[in-house]
Amino acid sequence: MKRKILITGGAGFIGSHVVRLFTTQYPNYHIINLDKLTYAGNLENLKDVENLENYKFIKGDIVDSDFINTLFDKYDFDGVIHLAAESHVDRSITNPMDFIMTNVVGTVNLLNAAKNNWGNGKNKLFYHVSTDEVYGSLGDTGYFLEDTPYDPKSPYSASKASSDHFVRAYGNTFSLPYVISNCSNNYGPNQFPEKLLPLFINNIIENRELPVYGDGKFTRDWLYVLDHAIAIDKIFHKGKIGDTYNIGGFNEWKNIDLIELLCEKMDAALNRERGTSKKLITFIKDRPGHDKRYAIDANKIKNELGWEPSLQFDEGLSKTIDWYLNNKSWINNVTSGEYQKYYKQQYK
């Protein structure tokens, strides 16, 4: 194999799409997928590639430094694409320590293993995948740039900001070759239904309420997950060492406008009377520290690496709805926990 690449969190939502892209696009790469298989990690996402000769899954926890060091010693990785993370803001408010351990301590464990194994770092790369939430909140105008000062507002974004800083510190102190990307909200197939779109799609199918925080006017930029995977590919292969790239969809939506559009599309897809799903919208108390607006300026990656989103949002949302409607068994499995029981037995 030409290169040995460790992808952490490869059984998760974004990670599974990156694993699939790299295993199929680069048959001469050996792709090792490391995942703890928490509730959001699901090997069913990778059934179509699990038997490829250049793919291997390893169950493990990046918080376990001895395990990580042994893994690096065994495989002598040429590159790391680090996606493993606790990522749900709501859960970070109720249990921040999980986010500190995985997102901060886990990242430092990987950095230490890379530092200790890579010597002068020639032809090596540590690629840290992060979030636009590290920048904090925007007003009604303006965009996040790569040099926007960090101002995290939630335990989740604080943990990701900390891990970003550690990556840069290891680059500066130990000359560890790295790149960082900060992306906007992802959507698409295989997303665990705690996130807004899959949660609301499933709730509409089941005629459950659609809980909307505050006045629903919080604004996010939305990025189709396959476009994000392609951006990661370009940054990994062509990005400048020590640089940061913001990945966004050029696609801002207020939450309530997005939800109303989703309701219209779901009514059409389910052959329901128009306006049926919209009646499920229920405004609830806002969560603590809720950032008003995120918006990414993704012109750097567009101009330097030639990447831009391939899908218009209307098409991407329709594709996402179709996938969930055609994969109801997947939703049932992940929400019931049956897949976790199976994989915990298989990968003890």
Question: Active-site positions?
Answer: 132-133, 156
Residue located via tokens 């990580």: 68
